[in-house]
Amino acid sequence: MIDISDVSLTLGGSLILDHVGLTLPKGGVTALVGPNGAGKSSLLSLIARLRPLQTGRITVDGLPVDTTPTRQLAKVMAILRQDPGVASRLRVAELVGFGRFPHNGGRLTAEDRRIVAETLEQFDLTGLASRFIDTLSGGQRQRALVAMTFCQGTDYILLDEPLNNLDMFHARELMRTLRVMADGHGKTVLVVLHDINHAAAYADRIVAMKDGRIAASGETAAIIRPDILEAVFGFPMRVETLAGRLTVLHHA
């Protein structure tokens, strides 16, 4: 369970998060949506203890994120921020291998190597394993970073716009992988998404943010409604059921 209570954040005099309270049960895929500047990434950073908590309280699996040792948290929760700007000349396999750092302190065990090889295979990176990441395309690098995050093997996975730079094929693959992680491995996934239809198709729950507050939160079908989406994003859009799936027609 991720429990957020009364969290506010002020940066440079402006209020980024305004008394946010949210409880996410263990398991399932939760999509965090909302317009730019709604506070999604800031909230994710606070949950992942990348930013110090100013007020309020956040626990992940019962562990307070501001007082639990960071190494212990790293075995419970993995985070991939949007565009972490990784510039080191590491090979893909080496980068993904560092995902095992919280467990092994740097020395890969046979078990770690097996997990790394599996993860590389899972993310279609085996052929790129010995390439330096600074020679990859943006999408390939993004996949390598997501693979490193998964390789951490945590129960909670936080991803900030992981579909950035991914083509349709790999975006779909990643969303399907998130579903498998949640359904087959009991992982709890919290993912910031910009494409509302990815959220509609793959998420169990949607949390919509606007102006630093939680605007709406609930089962996917309860959030993918024209009135709620208009209130969050600020323009009217149609919601249709196509081939049994809720689809938002926001292009018109």
Partner 1 sequence: MTVVSVGRPDGVLRAAGLAGLLALTLASLFVGVGALSPKTLFSDPEALRLMMVSRLPRTLAALLAGSALAIAGLVMQTLARNRFVEPATAGTAQSAALGILLVTVLWPEAPLGWKAAVASLAALAGTSVFLALVHKLPPTQPFLVPLFGIVYGSVVGAAATFAAWRLDLLQYLEIWTTGEFSGILRGRYELLWIAGALVALAWWTADRLTILSLGRDVGVGLGLNYAAVLRLGLVIVSAVTALTVVVVGIIPFVGLVAPNLISRFAGENLRHTLPWVAGTGAALVLSCDIIGRLIRFPYEIPVGTVLGVVGAALFLALLFVRRADG
- Sites of contact with partner 1 (CB under 8 A): 45, 48-50, 70-75, 78-81, 84-91, 93-94, 97-99, 101-102, 105-108, 110, 113-114, 116-117, 120, 126, 129-130, 132, 135, 149, 152
Which ranges of the chain would DSSP assign to H, the alpha helix? 40-47, 70-74, 92-97, 101-104, 110-122, 138-151, 168-185, 196-202, 220-223, 226-233
CB of 40 to partner 1, least distance (A): 16
Q: Quick one: 156 or 233, whose CB is closer to partner 1?
A: 156
- Residue 22's nearest CA partner among 154, 224, 207 is 207
Q: Quick one: 121 or 183, whose CB is closer to partner 1?
A: 121
Q: Which three-class secondary structure state does DSSP give residue 185?
A: helix
Q: Quick one: 87 or 242, whose CB is closer to partner 1?
A: 87
CB of 137 to partner 1, least distance (A): 12
Q: Quick one: 164 or 238, whose CB is closer to partner 1?
A: 164
CB of 240 to partner 1, least distance (A): 39
Q: Quick one: 161 or 199, whose CB is closer to partner 1?
A: 161
CB of 124 to partner 1, least distance (A): 14
Q: Which three-class secondary structure state does DSSP give residue 69?
A: coil
CB of 3 to partner 1, least distance (A): 20
CB of 143 to partner 1, least distance (A): 15
Q: Quick one: 29 or 78, whose CB is closer to partner 1?
A: 78
Q: Residue 140 and residue 146: Cα distance in Å, rounded?
A: 10
Q: Quick one: 115 or 216, whose CB is closer to partner 1?
A: 115
Beta-carbon contacts of 248 under 8 Å, excluding residues fewer than 6 positions away, are 196, 197, 200, 224, 229, 237, 238, 239
Beta carbons within 10 angstroms of residue 235's beta carbon? 8
- Whether 170 contacts 140, CB under 8 Å: no
- Whether 232 contacts 35, CB under 8 Å: yes
* Residue 68, CA atoms < 13 Å, CB-side half-sphere: 21
CB of 59 to partner 1, least distance (A): 17
Which ranges of 65-108 would DSSP assign to H, the alpha helix? 70-74, 92-97, 101-104
- Which class for 28: exposed (0-12), middle (13-18), buried (19 or more C-beta within 10 A)? middle
